[in-house]
Amino acid sequence: MKVKYIDTVCTNTQHIIFNASLLAMLGNFYSNIIFYGEKNNMNEVLDVLAQNHTNSSSLRTKKLPLPIASSGIRSFFVFIFSFFYNLYFITFASKKELLVFNYNNLMAVRSMNFINKLFNRNILIFCHGEMEFLISDIKQYGLLNSLLWKFAHHFFLNKNIQVHPKIKFVVMGDAILQHMRETVPNNIGKAFISVDHSYFFNNTHYSYTPNKQLKVGTVGVFSKIKGGDDFCKLYHLVDKSKVRFSITGRIFYDMNIINSMDIDLPNNKGINAIDREELEKRTQELDIILFFYPKNSYKLIASGAIMDAISMKKPIIAIRNSYFSYIFEKFGTFGFLVDSVEEMAKIIETLKKEDLVFDFDTIQKKMNISSISEQLKEQLIKMNLL
């Protein structure tokens, strides 16, 4: 069976690791894969595959002209381009092909479902952060995300829509699948399946000089929504002579507050995103990565930042949520889950270096491409695609 791997949304290095890991898994089962996507993004994916010594002999690429999502209006046009591309691929595919859409374009999904009733294609659609629109408040979003919120609600919460039996929506983990089926009506929920997030663990050795102080910090975008207020609260709860705080990533927060505290910031002070090299260097300098996501977050999406922590063998301290609990229970413990910032502060102040030793090798083995491929294989067999 030929596989068409279709990325009509990602630009600016979006979903590079996800694309590479999913293509690597598909390459274990299919000998003819065509990867469609924006040229620069595809090249980044191919670089990741090469760096991880992945056999890509079954993979061919075909570029799609796409606007680069460098602003809100350009992002809107990316979704419009994606809408028409997706319908084109469904219309002109063969019934013997598998269409893998790496991203769930909410503007297109209802039309894709409708048109597939005419063409009967085999389709997998992988779901990401867009599914959080189903349980979030529209008031927190700008114009584009408010529009996507409405598309999400009008399709996934609609009790009258019947999803075509050959369309499956893939979420990354059984905990997310359970929450999804509790969120959407049964007519939609039965179209969802689960495959855990896989990752490349290449055993890269990172140089690391032990800190005199315990160094803790966040990695990724820093904002109020992602727990910025709790980070500041924690800062004021612990003894700064013992603990050094760090922020690594773009900062969407009141810089007057940030600058009033003694925090290690990126070279650009968080004004823009930082490059991968600086991100990895700064992350490796941490003893612990902190996560302040609200307890009701990550019910419908996986966390790429968690995968980065596991890859770099960095323990975490995080506010407990269902997804983090699921990862700890299924793959192994690599830190501490807490119920409050106060509990987080107590743990940090009493930690010793020997408390930060976890079996990352076993966790990585359970989450690598080879292991998660078995989950994907099981789902493909159930769909009669293998």
Do 172 and 275 sit in the same domain of this protein?
A: no
Give the Å distances, CA to CA, from 195 to 23, 125, 154, 199, 377.
14, 12, 25, 12, 10
- Does residue 348 sit in the same domain as residue 306? yes
Say which DSSP state 117 is in: H
End-to-end CA distance of the chain: 8
Q: Whole-model pTM?
A: 0.91
Kindly state whether residues 258 and 222 are assigned to the same domain. Answer: yes
User: Which structural domain range is residue 278 located in?
Assistant: 214-366
**Same-domain pairing of 195 and 302:** no
- Let me know if residue 206 belongs to a domain: no
pLDDT string in tens for the chain (386-residue length):
999 999 999 998 888 999 999 999 999 999 999 999 999 999 999 999 999 999 888 899 999 999 998 888 999 999 999 999 999 999 999 999 999 999 999 999 999 999 999 999 999 999 998 999 999 887 778 899 999 999 999 999 999 999 999 999 999 999 999 999 999 999 999 999 999 999 998 765 555 556 678 999 999 889 888 899 999 999 999 999 999 999 999 899 999 999 999 999 999 999 987 887 898 899 999 999 999 988 888 899 888 889 989 999 999 999 999 999 999 999 999 999 999 999 999 999 998 878 889 999 999 999 999 999 999 999 999 999 99
Q: Is residue 351 part of a domain?
A: yes
238 and 194 in one domain? no
Count of the separate structural domains present in the chain: 2
Would residue 208 count as lying in a domain?
no
Is residue 209 in some structural domain? no
Chain-centroid distance of CA 220 in Å reads: 12
The answer to whether 323 and 302 are in contact (CB under 8 A) is yes
Domain shared by 52 and 117, yes or no: yes
Mark whether 232 and 293 lie in a shared domain.
Answer: yes
Q: Does residue 21 sit in the same domain as residue 98?
A: yes
Q: What is the CATH number of the domain that holds 346?
A: 3.40.50.2000
Same domain, 7 and 38: yes
In a domain, 41, yes or no: yes
SS (H, E, C) 62-98: EECCCCCCCCHHHHHHHHHHHHHHHHHHHHHCCCCCE
Same domain, 376 and 274: no
Element (H, E) at 151: helix 143-156
Residues 356 and 378 in one domain: no
* Closest to 24 measured CA to CA, from 13, 37, 35, 36: 35
139, 30: one domain: yes
